[in-house]
Amino acid sequence: MSDSIPKYVGPKPTDRVLTRDEVKARFDQETAAAYSQQDPIYLPDYASALALVIEALCAALPDEPTILDLGAGTGNLARRVLGAIPNSYVTLIDFSLNMLSEAPDVLADFKGRYNTICEDFFAFDMPPATFDGIVSSFAIHHARGRAEYGRLYQRIRSWLKPGMVFACCDVVAGSNQQWTAMNEAGWQQHLRAAEFDDATIAHIFANYRVEDTPISLPEHLTLLREAGFAHVDVLWKKHNFAVYCAQK
Ligand SMILES: C[S@@+](CC[C@H](N)C(=O)[O-])C[C@H]1O[C@@H](n2cnc3c(N)ncnc32)[C@H](O)[C@@H]1O
């Protein structure tokens, strides 16, 4: 790994899942620059998976679309949206000012085409039918429990204009413990192949256990349908990572 890549630190180990305030505190302390890598090697097929999120939106987009990026962090996904969709305007929402503070650098080529909102996306509300597309990468997995995912999907649907698309790339659980273990073993293999040492892999997994509470793809699709989306789909899956989408 290059020494020039800022180090990912992650949360302090605990014997329980982190609360929302602890997740926020961790991202407020994290080296935000560590998240601005073009292609982080610890996630499989990162660039092509994010490209699929954007392609999914293009199933239904007007000219000059307004797009919401949930848990936008330093702007990794927003940069790709702005680069790929001409005349798009992106609203980045994230509850960590530290992470958002990196966005002006990451989005330097797109001045005047984005704004940032520092809020908790599980609590903040927006007027109905505001956006032509909603995206998210590696953020929604902070929902704690099925009911919280479901409430978020209902709000996402309400913020979309009719016919528009929500697309997400994130970690997912398996539908049973065996498949979850198999998926996680696949991620471990990916990390080994990327030449992470055992201690770093153990650190990444320890962070994952206390911070992320993913649900399975079938559960996501059910909750999206229950929230009232007309069409739901899975566009890609590898190990415990997936891209899924829903059209209002
Ligand atoms: C792993 S980072 C991913 C950032 C970015 N989407 C990317 O792919 O690089 C997760 C981001 O979600 C944000 N986040 C987590 N829970 C949040 C919440 N409830 N409301 C707003 N932002 C949240 C964190 O602050 C962090 O910036």
Listed in sequence order, the residues at least 6 apart from 169 whose beta carbon sits closer than 8 Å to its beta carbon are 49, 50, 52, 53, 77, 136, 137, 138, 241, 242, 243
Q: What is the pLDDT of residue 189?
A: 96
Sheet holding 66-70, edge to edge: 114-118, 89-94, 66-70, 131-137, 160-171, 241-247, 231-238
Asked if residue 122 is part of any domain, the answer here is: yes
* Residue 2, C-beta contacts closer than 8 angstroms, at least 6 positions apart: none
Q: Is the CB of 247 under 6 A from ligand 1?
A: no
Per-residue pLDDT reduced to its tens digit, 168-193: 999 999 999 999 999 999 999 999 99
Mutational pocket test of ligand 1: of 21, 27, 68, the residue with most ligand atoms within 8 Å of the beta carbon: 27
Instruction: Give the H or E element holding residue 231.
Output: strand 231-238
- Please give the residue that has the higher pLDDT: either 134 or 212: 134
Mean pLDDT score across all residues of the chain: 91
Give residue 87's identity as a one-letter amino acid code.
N
Name residue 216's beta-bridge partners.
Answer: 173
The CB-based long-range contact list for 93-96 (8 Å cut-off, 24+ gap) reads 93/68, 93/69, 93/117, 93/118, 93/119, 93/121, 93/124, 94/27, 94/118, 94/121, 94/139, 95/24, 95/27, 95/119, 95/120, 95/121, 96/24, 96/27, 96/28, 96/30, 96/32
**Is 120's C-beta closer than 6 angstroms to any atom of ligand 1?**
yes
DSSP state letters, 50-91? HHHHHHHHTTS--SS-EEEEET-TTTHHHHHHHHHSTT-EEE
The pLDDT assigned to 22 comes to 83
Indicate the residue type of 42: Y
Q: What is the pLDDT of residues 22-49, one digit of tens each?
A: 888 877 777 666 666 667 788 889 999 9
pLDDT for 7 equals 54
Q: How far apart are CA 192 and CA 239, in angstroms?
A: 14
What is the pLDDT averaged over residues 87-110? 95
| C-alpha of residue 31 to centroid of ligand 1, in Å | 13
Per-residue model confidence (pLDDT) at position 4: 47
Q: What is the CATH number of the domain that holds 110?
A: 3.40.50.150
Tell me the mean pLDDT in the region 86-91: 97
Residue 6 lies in a domain: no
Q: pTM, whole model, 2 decimals?
A: 0.92
Separation of 94 CA from ligand 1 center, angstroms? 6
Pocket perturbation via mutation, ligand 1, pick of 18, 35, 171 by most ligand atoms within 8 A of CB: 35
Q: Is residue 42 part of a domain?
A: yes
| pLDDT > 90 fraction of the chain, expressed in percent and rounded | 75
- Residue 90 Cβ contacting ligand 1 at under 6 Å: no
- H/E segment holding residue 150: helix 146-159
Q: Determine, yes or no, domain membership for 2.
A: no
pLDDT, tens digit, 9 for 90 and up, residues 199-227 = 989 988 988 898 899 999 999 999 999 99
67's tokens = 């797009």
Q: 196: CA distance to ligand 1 center in Å?
A: 24
- Asked, for residue 37, whether it belongs to a domain, the answer is yes
Cα(71) to centroid of ligand 1, in Å?
A: 4
Q: 230 lies in a domain?
A: yes
Number of domains comprising the chain:
1
Q: Is residue 83 part of a domain?
A: yes
Which structural domain range is residue 242 located in? 20-247
| Model pLDDT, residue 25 | 80
pLDDT digits (tens, 9 = 90+) for 49-83: 999 999 999 888 999 999 999 999 999 999 999 99
Closest CA to ligand 1's atom 26: 73
Residue ID of nearest Cα to ligand 1 atom 27: 73
